Chains A and B, each alone.
Chain A
Amino acid sequence: MDDTRKNIIQLIVIVVAATFLIKLFSIQVLDSKYAQAANSNIIHEVIEYPYRGLIYDRNGELIVFNTPQYNLTVIPKDVKKIDTTKFCELFQITRQEFIDKLETAKKFSYVQPSIFIKQLSNKDLAKVQDYLVDFQGFDIQARTTRSYASPVLANALGYVSEVSKRQLERDTIDYYRQGDYIGQSGIESFYEKQLRGKRGVHYVIKNVRGVEKGVFDGGKYDTLSVPGQNLVSTIDLTLQEYGESLLAGKSGSIVAIEPSSGEILSLVSGPSYDPNLLTGKDYSQNFSLISADTAKPLFNRPLMAQYRPGSIFKIIQALVALQEGVINRQTYIPCIMVPMKCHYHGPGETLIGAITNSCNPYFYNVMKRVVNRGVSESPFEDTRLGLEGWNQHVRSFGLGSPLGIDLPNEKTGLVPSVAYYDKAYDNRPWKYSNIYSIAIGEGENLVVPIQMANFAAIVANRGYYYIPHLVKSIGDSGQPLPQYTEKHFTTVDSKYFDIAVEAMANVVESGTGQYRAKLKDIEVCGKTGTVQNDPMPDHSVFIAFAPKDNPKIAVSVYVEDAGQGARAAASIASLMIEKYLLGGTERPHIEEYVKKGEFLH
């Protein structure tokens, strides 16, 4: 017999062996997929969530802190032979829910843990802990959730929730992962980077049954979590709580600022909500309730509500006119009720009297002098030039654009400009007689309560301000963000502010504010405002600072639909000043009047 058959058999052996070696080379050397799969088989990522930074008030009282909370997580790969009936009974879910949740988890990852049931309470945890060993693939993951010492300041603090899909998509540096928490509004959002800290990861090795067999590669790739930075807020928690109690049941805002630093002492928005509602297990349910509320508790009025400035604007008009040299403190203008009506106060006023008594025709003339200087023959052109200069002055008071407070969503307000009227009049000519209602703070002017509080601080400081802010110290630095240590001057000389201060002192001493804003031991400077709000009752507005010399607090108060500024707003502002400077009011009847809330009668 020849060798053919022997050779064929040998060839078969060699061909098979060669096939094996080629296949082995391809999976062992050429394809790195298997090496990765081997790693993902044994390496399990354990995330160590950082502590989110705490928030203290200006006196060191804790406002926001963390409380532990427990999530039930699942690794679908490890779920084997579990008693579903028992599981569902224990965690009080239906069988269908169980299947759906597991399916969702599988879609996320087969081998990575994902949250199965969120935020078990301590009680639930105690109940299920002993049974966990029977449910392979399930584990408890400790997280922390936000808690609030007092049910106040909700809109300023904001809330924290799980990062949304859209936020994940926008997160280009891939900091966040599904299930991470992120500040959604307020300080929590603005200071997210400082508060969030850094996630830690360690890698452990587990065998096929999920039993831990040590750390991967000696812990070479492990990172420790870094807690977030604590913040010291400028808020005075006691004052804040007091302000919220005063504004309870009303719509409006209270903003109190320390003029010498721009630190916001309290930021009250009414109506509000208890921040503890937007944390923990019932977050979603509560959030939909709160956001559907027609009273808009999520609307942060101090920053987002825009009103006409009303009479308060007359002080700015006076300051601009003084700076421009078109009036002085002795300038007398008769109150002839034309072209604007006025309330009865006398036949005419000099500057301080005009502010004290809020004379409308006086400021009609003051602005006319600022705007119409006779620079141009044409009254139209003249007004344009004049308004341009006026606009620059007014804007230097921090109006017409966001102040830059450390909260999101600040509104701009409006200081009408030449371009604004060109657009409004569709490029038809306009002159002062078309726009004069802005002279007394009506018309197109718009301001935000925080801007008015800042304006009170400007007068208190006699001409400058620090951007109002809510955080005075980040981490251990003892410093706020750098932009908040920078002085901003108005275009009006400091000397003219003395007249404004004097006028505002007069308003409280003997003018519109004397009944409800005057205090026995503290010289309060203020100005009432009554913002027309047809057909509803007017908004009650009051700005103030105190004491007159070396002021410690500047306030703006807006109470919607509450009539004259001298009533609701002036009362609240003076109570806030008393509370801050004296620790409480000496006028319980005023407090009672405010809490009763019947301002229109």
Chain B
Amino acid sequence: MSGRDNITNNIDWLTVILFMSIAVLGWLNIFAAVYDESANQSIFDMTLNSGRQLFFMASSIILIIAIMVVDFKFYDTFAYIIYGVVVFLLILVVFVAREISGANSWLEIGPLRLQPSEFAKFATALAVAKYMDSAGFRMDRLGKQIVLFIIIGVPAILIVAQGDTGTALVYSVFVLVFFREGMSPMLLILGVAAAIIFVLTLLVPNHLYLYIGIAATAAIIILFIKKRTIKKIAVVLAGALIIAGVIRSVDYVISDVLKPHQQNRIKALINPDADPLGYGWNVTQSKIAIGSGGFAGKGFLRGTQTKFDFVPEQSTDFIFCTIGEEHGWFGSLLTISLFVTLILRIIYISERQKWRFARVYGYSVACILFFHFAVNIGMTIGLFPVIGIPLPLFSYGGSSLWGFAILVFILLKLDSHRMQVLVR
């Protein structure tokens, strides 16, 4: 049995099909988003985003083949080096980048324009996987946890420095991976609770109710703990104090940490109708476009809101509007189902890995995809603040498509060799 046969036999074709389907649907919708009836352009027109996206799709097949022919041990062996190179590129970007729409995240190499932050995701995933697979790693050690947070923190901070807070936020999703690998759920719960209380603070003018609510919740949790030890009670109280601290910090975070456009995005989430022509414009128009689709949608290329440019960033961050408008709820259902199936499939693949490196990497892929999916669609329908991250495989953009292709196909490469791995 030759190496190549081995790959084609063992590759998870379901994932490949899901991946390709989403990319093709994305490509069609990119065309719909930029389509101009009067211009009589073809979907292959290289002056259009759709033509260029097709080129990105073709080139990512070459990338995929390359990933597949490299020895699977390469990714394990070179994980830190790849991570190091990407971190170097991120630093480089901070100094020599070209500014595009407020963020300095682009690196120009001849005719090629790359966004290193898109490649930092798989590199970080590899590094995290490698570190967690290392001998003597134990999730419950604080020291090890700190190292993990440094691994995900360094690229995140560098990306924030580039001005692309949205992409940096993606790294927070590694917490889910750590949780899967045995980290105490406390951090996860605290994180979610802090996020909820943050939004509630903005919604409820009288903060006293929030303090009472936190106190009540803490009391109930203490009551329901089976074995009440001092330590457990202390943990709950500390958690409650931290959450209460979030309330105190909201004003400070909103007005001093966030930039004005970020403040507005949060305001738009709370009340988009307050200024529908100003900061509420994106969310309002995005909801109008999606909401006007009805059950079955207006039909391919027949959306008016995207076609007439009411929706901003329609082929990139707001590509979901085209689905919602032209294909209605049914199209949205189909799209969301494809993503959920892909994510669950990747979780399934991860779970069948005996090698911790592959499993951690697989979870990282699933969680990164999930974060992009959740935040992107959530923002278009007004459930999340507008954070400029693409819908994976769907949004227009070469770096993004290549980044996700690498992310997914390294996993498929590792998966195809899962039988050859000796469990440590």
Q: Which residues of A contact B (CB under 8 A)?
A: 1, 5-6, 8-10, 12-14, 16-17, 19-21, 23-25, 27-29, 31, 33-35, 37-39, 41-42, 77, 110, 205-209, 213-214
In the complex, the number of residue pairs spanning A and B with C-beta atoms less than 8 Å apart equals: 116
Contacts of B292 in A (CB 8 A): 34-35, 37-39
Most chain B C-beta atoms within 10 Å of own C-beta, residue among A1, A16, A35, A39: A16
Contacts of B344 in A (CB 8 A): 10, 13
Contacts of B279 in A (CB 8 A): none
Q: Is the CB of A28 within 8 A of B293?
A: yes
Q: Is the CB of A29 within 8 A of B304?
A: no
Contacts of B308 in A (CB 8 A): 41-42, 205-208, 213
Contacts of B332 in A (CB 8 A): 20-21, 24, 28
A-B contact pairs, 24 of them (CB 8 A): A6-B347, A9-B179, A9-B367, A13-B340, A14-B340, A16-B370, A16-B374, A17-B339, A17-B340, A20-B381, A24-B290, A28-B295, A28-B324, A34-B287, A38-B288, A38-B291, A38-B304, A41-B304, A41-B308, A42-B308, A205-B308, A207-B307, A207-B309, A214-B37
B337 → A minimal CB distance (Å): 8
**Chain B interface size range:** 35 or more
Q: Is the CB of B182 within 8 A of A1?
A: yes
Interface class of chain A by DSSP: helix
When chains A and B are docked, how far (Å) is the Cα of A13 from the Cα of B332?
A: 16
Q: Is the CB of B383 within 8 A of A77?
A: no
Q: Is the CB of B333 within 8 A of A21?
A: yes
B91 → A minimal CB distance (Å): 33
Q: Is the CB of A28 within 8 A of B180?
A: no
Q: Is the CB of B347 within 8 A of A10?
A: yes
Name 12 extra pairs, CB < 8 A, besides A9-B366, A27-B291. A9-B176, A9-B180, A9-B367, A13-B344, A17-B339, A23-B381, A27-B290, A28-B293, A28-B329, A29-B329, A42-B305, A207-B307
Q: Is the CB of A208 within 8 A of B310?
A: yes
Contacts of B381 in A (CB 8 A): 20, 23-24, 27
Q: Is the CB of B343 within 8 A of A13?
A: yes
When chains A and B are docked, how far (Å) is the Cα of A35 from the Cα of B339?
A: 26
Interface membership of B84, Cβ < 8 A: no
Contacts of B291 in A (CB 8 A): 27-28, 31, 33-35, 37-38
Contacts of A1 in B (CB 8 A): 182
Q: Which residue of A lies closest to B309 (CB)?
A: A208
Interface membership of B163, Cβ < 8 A: no
A23-B381, A31-B291 are contacts. A9–B305 as well, Cβ < 8 Å?
A: no
Interface membership of B328, Cβ < 8 A: yes
Interface membership of B294, Cβ < 8 A: yes
A129 → B minimal CB distance (Å): 26
Contacts of A12 in B (CB 8 A): 176, 370
When chains A and B are docked, how far (Å) is the Cα of A209 from the Cα of B325?
A: 20
Contacts of A23 in B (CB 8 A): 381, 383
Most chain B C-beta atoms within 10 Å of own C-beta, residue among A16, A24, A27, A42: A24
Contacts of A205 in B (CB 8 A): 304, 308
Q: Is the CB of A209 within 8 A of B309?
A: yes
When chains A and B are docked, how far (Å) is the Cα of A206 from the Cα of B305?
A: 10
When chains A and B are docked, how far (Å) is the Cα of A110 from the Cα of B275?
A: 12
Interface membership of B289, Cβ < 8 A: yes
A41 CB contact (under 8 Å) in B288, B294, B340, B383: B288
When chains A and B are docked, how far (Å) is the Cα of A21 from the Cα of B308?
A: 26
Contacts of A213 in B (CB 8 A): 37-38, 308
Q: Which residues of B contact A (CB under 8 A)?
A: 37-38, 176, 179-180, 182, 277, 285, 287-295, 304-305, 307-310, 324-325, 328-329, 332-333, 336-337, 339-340, 343-344, 347, 351, 363, 366-367, 370, 374, 377-378, 381, 383
B330 → A minimal CB distance (Å): 9
B305 CB contact (under 8 Å) in A6, A8, A20, A38: A38
Contacts of A37 in B (CB 8 A): 288, 291-292
Q: Is the CB of A13 within 8 A of B370?
A: yes
When chains A and B are docked, how far (Å) is the Cα of A209 from the Cα of B312?
A: 12
A6-B347, A24-B332, A41-B305 are contacts. A77–B277 as well, Cβ < 8 Å?
A: yes
B136 → A minimal CB distance (Å): 18
Contacts of A42 in B (CB 8 A): 304-305, 308, 310
A40 → B minimal CB distance (Å): 9
A30 → B minimal CB distance (Å): 10
When chains A and B are docked, how far (Å) is the Cα of A576 from the Cα of B37?
A: 71
A216 → B minimal CB distance (Å): 10
When chains A and B are docked, how far (Å) is the Cα of A6 from the Cα of B346?
A: 12
Q: Is the CB of B180 within 8 A of A5?
A: yes
When chains A and B are docked, how far (Å) is the Cα of A8 from the Cα of B293?
A: 33
When chains A and B are docked, how far (Å) is the Cα of A77 from the Cα of B276?
A: 10
A2 → B minimal CB distance (Å): 11
B308 → A minimal CB distance (Å): 4
Which 7 pairs, one residue from A and one from B, show the smallest C-beta to C-beta distance? Answer: A34-B291, A38-B292, A207-B308, A27-B291, A35-B292, A208-B309, A28-B329
A20-B377, A41-B305, A208-B309 are contacts. A28–B179 as well, Cβ < 8 Å?
A: no
A44 → B minimal CB distance (Å): 12
Q: Which residue of A lies closest to B285 (CB)?
A: A41
B306 → A minimal CB distance (Å): 10
When chains A and B are docked, how far (Å) is the Cα of A209 from the Cα of B307?
A: 12
Q: Which residue of B lies closest to A41 (CB)?
A: B310
Contacts of B289 in A (CB 8 A): 38
Q: Is the CB of B340 within 8 A of A19?
A: no
Contacts of A209 in B (CB 8 A): 309
Contacts of A29 in B (CB 8 A): 294-295, 329
Q: Is the CB of A20 within 8 A of B383?
A: yes
When chains A and B are docked, how far (Å) is the Cα of A557 from the Cα of B257?
A: 88
Contacts of A33 in B (CB 8 A): 291
A207 → B minimal CB distance (Å): 4
Q: Which residue of B lies closest to A34 (CB)?
A: B291
Contacts of B324 in A (CB 8 A): 24, 28
Q: Is the CB of B329 within 8 A of A25?
A: yes
When chains A and B are docked, how far (Å) is the Cα of A12 from the Cα of B180?
A: 13
When chains A and B are docked, how far (Å) is the Cα of A20 from the Cα of B325?
A: 15
When chains A and B are docked, how far (Å) is the Cα of A264 from the Cα of B383?
A: 74
Contacts of A207 in B (CB 8 A): 307-310
Q: Which residue of A lies closest to B38 (CB)?
A: A213
Contacts of B304 in A (CB 8 A): 38, 41-42, 205
When chains A and B are docked, how far (Å) is the Cα of A354 from the Cα of B156?
A: 118
Contacts of B294 in A (CB 8 A): 28-29, 35
Q: Is the CB of A20 within 8 A of B347?
A: no
Q: Which residue of B lies closest to A211 (CB)?
A: B308
Q: Which residue of A lies closest to B383 (CB)?
A: A23
Q: Which residue of B lies closest to A42 (CB)?
A: B304
B158 → A minimal CB distance (Å): 27
Q: Which residue of A lies closest to B347 (CB)?
A: A10
Contacts of B374 in A (CB 8 A): 16
When chains A and B are docked, how far (Å) is the Cα of A289 from the Cα of B176?
A: 80
Q: Is the CB of B339 within 8 A of A24?
A: no
When chains A and B are docked, how far (Å) is the Cα of A467 from the Cα of B275?
A: 62
Contacts of A19 in B (CB 8 A): 383
B340 → A minimal CB distance (Å): 5
Q: Is the CB of B179 within 8 A of A5?
A: yes
A72 → B minimal CB distance (Å): 21
A27 CB contact (under 8 Å) in B179, B287, B337, B377: B287
When chains A and B are docked, how far (Å) is the Cα of A29 from the Cα of B293?
A: 8
When chains A and B are docked, how far (Å) is the Cα of A77 from the Cα of B278?
A: 11
Contacts of B363 in A (CB 8 A): 9
Q: Which residue of A lies closest to B291 (CB)?
A: A34
Q: Is the CB of A21 within 8 A of B336?
A: yes
B303 → A minimal CB distance (Å): 9
Contacts of B290 in A (CB 8 A): 24, 27-28, 34
